[in-house]
Structure 1
Amino acid sequence: MSWADRYRPKSVSELIISVSSLEKISQWLDQWKEGVPLKKALVLYGPPGVGKTSAALAIAHDLGYPVVEMNASDQRNRDSMKSVALMAALYQDISSNFGIPGQKKIILIDEADSIFEGRSSETGGDTGGLSELLKVIQRTSNPIIITMNNYYEFRRKGAGKGILDSSLAIEFVPYKRRNDTDHKAFKLKLNRKIYDILQAEGVKVDQRSVNEIIEKNGTDIRSILNDVESLRDGSASSGISMRDSQTSIYNVMQDTFRSGDYTKVLRDLYDKDFQTEDYLMWIDKNLPHECVNENDLMESFDLISDADIFIGRVMKKQHFAFKGYAEEIAAGVSFKIKDKNRHYVKYEFPSYIMQMSRLRERRNARKSLSLKTGRLTHMSARYAMEYLWFYNIMDRHSPDFGRYISEKLSLTEPELGVLKRKSP
């Protein structure tokens, strides 16, 4: 079992989400504890990996209700929605499979984006699972939680608007903008969770690598935990290009090492599109190539060491203003190098940044491949991911099958690499 699954939040209070989202969920919980609220369904929408399904399970735990989860392909059509979800919604004692007789239950519709919805050729009405889901919401005596990735695309579907209008919809994102209050709280909570996991597993991972993983994965908590676990296994590998940030970081490196203009370097850093930690890593990696004089090299490394102390304080104390101090100290390399290298230097990427980028690219390829195979087989992406091994076996035994799937799904090179179990 992966760390992301093993250490799922057990209570709503453990969720790593914005304060406003947490308050809305808590209010909805309280309403169900007091009776049946006006909005009987809760819609959690947001990008993959932010914890929507984990939130649903945490809500069920706090209410003390068992979960009736509908996510497999054979449970997402009109007939099954009638036979399972509607029965579970109307009655509290339909089957011992749903928990203690007479007990309420949570009905979880995971990744509702994947539910098939068609139109009747005779009546023009909706014939798929969404129209039946709307009836379930209108008649339920039990709480319903629906998760989805794209709120606006779902709303355009036949019964999508009715479902959303009948539900309490919450955008499930930990923060809206970097460096706002929610972003700082997100990083603080996530660092604490990762620390607790590492302690429980008896594993040591460099804090700088953890920070890089958090920065690169954004709000995708599942990917963050998976990448941290990959570092433990030593499965990260190098060799990926960093085209998105190469130009800007390259120019800053040139100004840092060659311009001798401290003010210009600070202006570059003010407009940078990379992290302060990355800047220190780039200098550390390329200093030996730029310094001709040993004393210049020693003094420059001393500066980087001092700057790194402030980065450490950012991580330990969450004093984000110290990043500015770290940049001002590290930029001092521009006038520390007195004997400059006049020859061309091809700047090298720090190896651990390449490792993190490769992990992220492979993770994204797995996600997109799962979405494509899920649509093909009418499964949620989460469940489709568990069966990617099947496509690999079929491809090995029948090259024609691999070519068919590749053409059918318009697979990219990284996605094809995942299907064939090759590094993208």
Structure 2
Amino acid sequence: MDWAEKYRPRHLREMIGNREALRQMSDWAARWTTDSPPLILYGKPGIGKTSSAWALANDMNWEVVELNASDQRTKAVIERVAGGSASTGSLTGALRKLVILDEADNIQGTADRGGARAIVDVIRQARQPLILIANDLYGVDSAIRNLCTKVQFKALPAKSLVPRLKEICTLEERTCSIQAINDIAEQAGGDVRSAVTMLYASAIGKDTVGEDDVSISAKDSRASIFDLVAATLGYRQVPSLLDMSMSVDETPDTILQWLEGNLGVSPDRKKTAKAYAALSRADIYLGYTFRNQYYTLWRYATSVMLFGVHDVMKGRPSGYAKIMPPSRWRQMSGAKKQKNLRERLLTDLGTSMHMSSSSVRSLYFCPVSLLARESPEKFARKYSLDPESLDILINDPVTAKSIVKSIEDERKQIEKELKKRQKEEETKAKKARASKKEKKPEAQEAASIESLTAGDRAEPVKEVETKDPAEKDKKSSQSTLFSF
């Protein structure tokens, strides 16, 4: 059995590091009510986000329902699985069900159409605890992110991993040198899962693990695009930019867009112009690559963009660099979001008006917009519109947001009153049952007393003379004149 799974923490007290995050999770679970917002755990892979969620469920005696990146994240699937689990109770006797939605920052593409909106609906209607897990907090849709309490998990220092690795070696009865354990902890880069996996790979078929064994099974470390951009712009010193680019899971054309999007942070315009010239030359190679399908040119494009930009930008002091995704992506994402909102609104209107969305767009969208501006609250209630959809109709984001908020507050108030009324009815029913139980013995006692009193008043019953059966048998067996 893989050691990473075998020694996965079962309780929060067994987790390594991130004590503040674990405390937040524990407090949230202890005080959880149906009005509590869900948690979103974010941080780099392998630092214990999913394990801590399972450990929390185990500590609280909660059943777990998990969706991960391998699931088809369509709207229907999320509403059926996560939505049903979040609004219904458990059949196994557990007090509650914890719904874990892993890789919440991976809800995108055609397989996940409507997924983000479905999660928003699940969050608003959930009656069970809900935890979302993401590697990149800002990869999560903002509508989801704003409804959650954010809990950050940080990479663990190497010295925090060493005791855990020593403990595993002791439990597995393996002898590991101190240098080997330190090397594994350093190479893991704060990733607990990778550290345990590396130790397992090094110890297969061996009773003793030395430094040479670790170097053979060294971690296939992957750098992030943020690390590569920071190193190229001169914020970090690395042995080889090309080696780092090979470990980044991005294509050269994507790397070029990241570099282009972050060159504007340089205050020196001459250097910025030279850097853009290097990117322009690299883009020529990329054009040849895509036109001729000759991907060998990728290496030249990568070399030109990395070394060209780095040669211009080098010499700046190392430190923190605010690396952001290309602004073009954000603009495209906003345009795509608006298009999706518009299409969804047209579909809803077409369904209500019994016509196609294209007919609504070409013939009725303007009249409907005029009607919506006259009575926006009515439209928001009838079609269950969110602020963005209502804004498309009335072209007033402030009014749209306030109207939807008032409707949402009214809905919550009605739910509170219904819950209060339900509790009052349950309390009355309990009191009625208790009162009924108290009255039942009194009624039985009164009935028995009455029966005894009635028995005393009744006339004495005459005794009927009964004959002994033995005497009767004796008499029947007496001799007669005809007996011989």
Q: Which has the larger radius of gyration?
A: 2
TM-score (norm 2): 0.43
